[in-house]
Chain A
């Protein structure tokens, strides 16, 4: 059985023929489209390493069947930079040393981008910790991660205010 799906991935339309409906969005990205920035941690929806934005919302790509997402827009860590310029969340992660080994970092960053878009955490560290609770970090870089998300939220809000003015 061949299933053809079309996805808009990081702004580029990609059509893929799936020979097997078992392929998850995560495996499609990593194994078939060479977008290996999205990581496979637990593969069971618990660690958040595979977080991507699907139609603008953060999800665990390991628990999404690719075939079921036909027509969707996907944003991965590879699509976050604007040319050479880092996304404010990426810059904040570096500034706050918000990682050690870096394996969970793409998922953390995509989750933070999703959280900031959702808008309910603002720059309250406790809300940020709750909002980021779907992303585990075995190195324990949580303090830096929280600081980075708070700062990124502030700088993005400031940029938005400037744009509005």
Chain B
């Protein structure tokens, strides 16, 4: 792992200002970032610890039936939240289908959306990867790629988005609130647009019309971790 400076700002605006220095990266749960740093895939010069920023760890039901999810809410806390598991079971199921209990206890939902691709060529410094080294090419296109994108790929990259959590957010027309050097704004949940900014929250909207979707009412598997024990 490369050497880096560590800063822990007290407020969101301080964090955003600190991230203006080139070579900075936000640190929250660290489960993706530290893994990438240990592998030499990314090497930020400065880590900005946002894991304790006030107000970003809340799950707030909204009057319209939606829910506002702070970026620093832990994956496990969101999955086991009574409102979320009752009203947004697809969100709970998606979160619980990823990683392990230990990782879900540490990882944040903001970091989940901002995690880097899990493409094996991205993780291999000896391979060409436009995401890791822009302009170097994409070895995945001619390589072992049966798990990669069928839809939405380009000549530059065929990686899929790694977040399971992102899928129900997209299905629910969630909005993502971000804050960066240019201020705060809301965007539809398109991850590629919000990478440089600090993610503040995601707001999922409950649409009655979507209630017959398989996403909304996933089949309850036996042993599915979020179904109550009988």
B47 near A51 with CB under 8 A, answer no
Within 8 A of B (CB), among A31-69: 43-45, 48, 51, 54, 57-60, 63-65, 67-68
B106 near A60 with CB under 8 A, answer yes
B51 near A59 with CB under 8 A, answer no
A115 to chain B, nearest CB (A): 7
User: Given A59-B102, A59-B105, A130–B229 Cβ distance below 8 Å?
Assistant: no
Q: Which residue of A lies closest to B51 (CB)?
A: A68
B100 near A48 with CB under 8 A, answer yes
B226 near A51 with CB under 8 A, answer no
Question: Count the B residues whose beta carbon is within 8 Å of the partner chain — how many?
Answer: 32
B11 to chain A, nearest CB (A): 17
B182 to chain A, nearest CB (A): 28
Q: Which residue of B lies closest to A136 (CB)?
A: B100
A60 near B27 with CB under 8 A, answer no
A interface footprint on B90-120 (CB within 8 Å = 1, 0 otherwise): 0000000001111101100000000000000
Q: How far is the CA of A22 from the CA of B35 in the complex (A)?
A: 12
- What residues of chain B lie closer than 8 Å to A43, measured between beta carbons? 38
Q: How far is the CA of A59 from the CA of B101 in the complex (A)?
A: 8
- What residues of chain A lie closer than 8 Å to B80, measured between beta carbons? 120
- What residues of chain B lie closer than 8 Å to A48, measured between beta carbons? 100, 102
A126 near B101 with CB under 8 A, answer no
Residue picked from B8, B47, B80, B101, most chain A C-beta under 10 Å: B101
A interface footprint on B1-41 (CB within 8 Å = 1, 0 otherwise): 10111101000000000000000000101110011001100
Q: How far is the CA of A60 from the CA of B103 in the complex (A)?
A: 7
Assess whether A3 is interfacial by the CB under 8 Å rule.
yes
Q: How far is the CA of A35 from the CA of B34 in the complex (A)?
A: 22
Q: How far is the CA of A65 from the CA of B76 in the complex (A)?
A: 20
Q: Which residue of B lies closest to A124 (CB)?
A: B229
Assess whether A80 is interfacial by the CB under 8 Å rule.
no
Q: Which residue of A lies closest to B6 (CB)?
A: A21
A118 near B47 with CB under 8 A, answer no
Assess whether A1 is interfacial by the CB under 8 Å rule.
yes
A21 near B101 with CB under 8 A, answer no
Interface residues of A (CB under 8 A from B): 1, 3, 20-22, 24, 43-45, 48, 51, 54, 57-60, 63-65, 67-68, 111, 114-115, 118-122, 124, 126-127, 129-131, 133-135
Interface residues of B (CB under 8 A from A): 1, 3-6, 8, 27, 29-31, 34-35, 38-39, 47, 49, 51, 76, 80, 99-103, 105-106, 222-223, 225-226, 228-229
Excluding A21-B4, A21-B6, 6 further A-B contacts by CB distance (< 8 Å) are A3-B6, A63-B103, A65-B27, A68-B30, A114-B105, A134-B103
